[in-house]
Amino acid sequence: MRDKIYAIIVSAIFLFLLAWCPARYALDKLDISKLPENKNIKLPEKVYSQNAPLAPLLNSIEQGKAALENIYSNALPAYERITIFMSDNERSMRRSFLGVLYGFEETGQNGVAEQIPGPIPETPGEGAEEATEPPKPPVKYKAEYIGTDWCNDVWAFAEEGKPFSEGWTDKTLLAGEPELAWRVETQAGHVNRIANANKDVNFYVYVCTRFQETEIFGEIIKDIRVMRNEFSTHDLMMQFFESLDKSAVNAYDYFKIDTVEKRLEYICKTDHHEAAQGAYSIYCDVVNMIENDAPGIGEPRGAEFDIIDGAQLRGSHVWNHGYTEIYDDWWYYIVDLPEHFMHENIRGTGGTNQRNLDRYLDGKFSKDTFADHYASFYPRPGNVEYPGNKTGRNLLMLTDSYSWATGELIASNFDHMYSTLWTHGRFDYNKFIWENDITDVLILQVADRILYDIQNDTQLDKVITD
C-alpha cells in the first residue's frame, strides 16, 4: 500500500510539472505572468552546415530539443532561487579547493608569492641630492572562476586587495589557438568575398573587441595562476586584419579597450555589450573612419552622459550562473539628433521604435535581479532615415546586437542606414545595394562572431554575392 501511495504521489508531481511548465512558459510569452529573468538560455548542441544533407530538418530538431530544455527548466517552480543557491555554494566550494591547490586564501588571492622588500636605502645626509619618489609598483589583479557557458569560461576580476564587487567579469574562449586561427582565416575569406562583390561601394570593417583581444589582458593574467592556460587573442585579431584584401576593404578599425580603465568605462562589467560611453566611442570611431573617404558625412556629434537611478544590469556573463556580486549602473548618452524615423525591419516595416529612455527615467523598467536592460532599453535600428540630412550617402551595416546601442548614432551622419542582423538568414547583397542606392557598407560585429564565428551564427556565409 505504501508503494502505491508513493507511486501515486510521484506520478502526480510528474504530471503536474509536465502540464505546468509549458503553461507557465505560455503565460510568460503572452505577457500575462512574467518568469524571473534568470537567463538560463539553452542553445542547440549542434549546428549543421547548410551544405549538409537534411540540414534544415536536423537544425530544426536541435532547436526543438533546446526549446524543450528551456521550457522544462526555466518554467520550473522556484527554479531561479534554486540555481542561485546552488551557484553560490558551488563557487564557495571551488574557491576553497583552489585555495588548497594553489596556496591562497579564500579571500580570492591568486597565489602569487608575496613580494619581499629589498634593503631600505639610507637616508641621504645634508647636501645630498633630494631622493626621487620611487615608481609605484604595477597593479596586480586576481581572478575567480564563475562557470562555463557553451563555448566560454567566465571569470571575475579585481585588483588584489579589493573585493570582486569592485571589479568586472569577462569570458575566455574554450577553443585553442590552432582552431581559432583556422576560424580567423575562414572569416577573413568571407569578408573578402563580400568586399570584392561590389567595387562601386566603399567597404569598411569594425571589430567590437572583447577584453581577451587586448594585449593588456595577457599582461594581467600572466601572474594569475588559476588562469595559466588562458591567452590573449590580440595576435589573432591582427592576423584577421592582415588577411583582409586591402584592394577591396577601404579601411578597418577596432574597439580600443586597451586599459583596465577603458574596459570598466566602455563595456558593461557583467556583459559583452558596450556601455553608453563605449557605444559613443564606437560611433566616433566609425564616423571618423568613413569620413576619410566621404567627408560629406561630417564629424561625430557631441554627447553627454547620465545615469538611470535604480537600474542595475547583471548581464550575459553572469545570468546563467546566478552570480550577483558585480553589477553595472545603467548609463545612457544624450546626443542632439535631428528628426528621424527608425524601424526594426530593414525594409522599413513593422512600425517605428526608439530608445525606451522616457520609460526608464520614469522608473518603468524591470527590477528583476537579472533584468536585461541592454535588450529592453535600446531599439533595433533596422531601417533609419534622417530626412533632413543631405549627405548623399546611404549605409548598409552587416551587424549584430552591438548595433542596438550604436546604430541610431551612426545613422545620424547618413541620409539612410539599413542594417541586417546575424539572425536574418540569406541576404542578396548586390540586389539590395542596387535597390537602395547604397554608397557605403560596414561590417560591425562583436569579435567572437566576426573573427571566429564561435557560435556558428555570424551568417556571413548567408550573404549572397553571386
305 inside domain: yes
126 inside domain: no
Using one digit for the tens of pLDDT, what is the confidence trace for 10-32? 777 777 777 777 887 677 655 56
111 inside domain: no
Tell me the β-bridge partners of 153.
Answer: 148, 172
Per-residue DSSP letter, 311: E
Task: Look at residue 203 in the predicted model and tell me its pLDDT.
Answer: 98
- Checking if the pLDDT of 344 tops 90, the result is no
- Checking if the pLDDT of 87 tops 70, the result is no
231/368 Cα distance (integer angstroms): 35
Same domain as 407, residue 283: yes
User: For the chain, what percent of residues have pLDDT higher than 90?
Assistant: 60
Considering 38-42, 94-98, 391-395, the range whose residues carry the highest mean pLDDT is: 391-395
Task: Look at residue 118 in the predicted model and tell me its pLDDT.
Answer: 39
User: For the chain, what percent of residues have pLDDT higher than 70?
Assistant: 76
51-68 mean pLDDT: 67
Is the CB of residue 144 less than 8 Å from the CB of residue 108? yes
340-355 mean pLDDT: 75
- Checking if the pLDDT of 94 tops 90, the result is no
Q: Which H, E and C letters describe 57-110, residue by residue?
A: HHHHHHHHHHHHHHHHHHCCCCHHHHHHHHHHHHHHHHHHHHHHHHCCCCCCCC
70-96 mean pLDDT: 57
Same domain as 428, residue 301: yes
Same domain as 359, residue 228: yes
Per-residue DSSP letter, 267: B
pLDDT band per the 50, 70, 90 thresholds, residue 59 = low
Task: Look at residue 346 in the predicted model and tell me its pLDDT.
Answer: 80
pLDDT band per the 50, 70, 90 thresholds, residue 416 = very high
Task: Look at residue 421 in the predicted model and tell me its pLDDT.
Answer: 75
State the total domains in the chain: 2
- Residue 191 grid coordinates: 569578408
pLDDT band per the 50, 70, 90 thresholds, residue 114 = very low
440 inside domain: yes
150 inside domain: no
Same domain as 457, residue 326: yes
243-254 mean pLDDT: 98
Task: Look at residue 98 in the predicted model and tell me its pLDDT.
Answer: 47
Q: Can you give the pTM of this predicted structure?
A: 0.74
Using one digit for the tens of pLDDT, what is the confidence trace for 196-213? 999 999 999 999 999 999
169/190 Cα distance (integer angstroms): 31
- Checking if the pLDDT of 444 tops 50, the result is yes
Which domain-ending residue is among 77, 104, 138?
77
Which domain-ending residue is among 60, 77, 94?
77
128 inside domain: no
Same domain as 57, residue 201: no
Task: Look at residue 377 in the predicted model and tell me its pLDDT.
Answer: 94
With a CB cutoff of 8 Å and minimum separation 6, the contacts of 186 are 453
Q: Which residues form the domain of 247? A: 174-464
405 inside domain: yes
- Checking if the pLDDT of 56 tops 70, the result is no
Same domain as 184, residue 53: no
pLDDT band per the 50, 70, 90 thresholds, residue 461 = confident
Is the CB of residue 210 less than 8 Å from the CB of residue 170? yes
451/240 Cα distance (integer angstroms): 7
121 inside domain: no
384-400 mean pLDDT: 96
Which domain-ending residue is among 22, 43, 77?
77
Task: Look at residue 15 in the predicted model and tell me its pLDDT.
Answer: 78
- Checking if the pLDDT of 96 tops 60, the result is no
Same domain as 395, residue 253: yes
56-79 mean pLDDT: 69
Task: Look at residue 86 in the predicted model and tell me its pLDDT.
Answer: 53
pLDDT band per the 50, 70, 90 thresholds, residue 3 = confident
Give just the sign of the alpha carbon dihedral 319, 321, 323, 324: positive
Same domain as 370, residue 254: yes
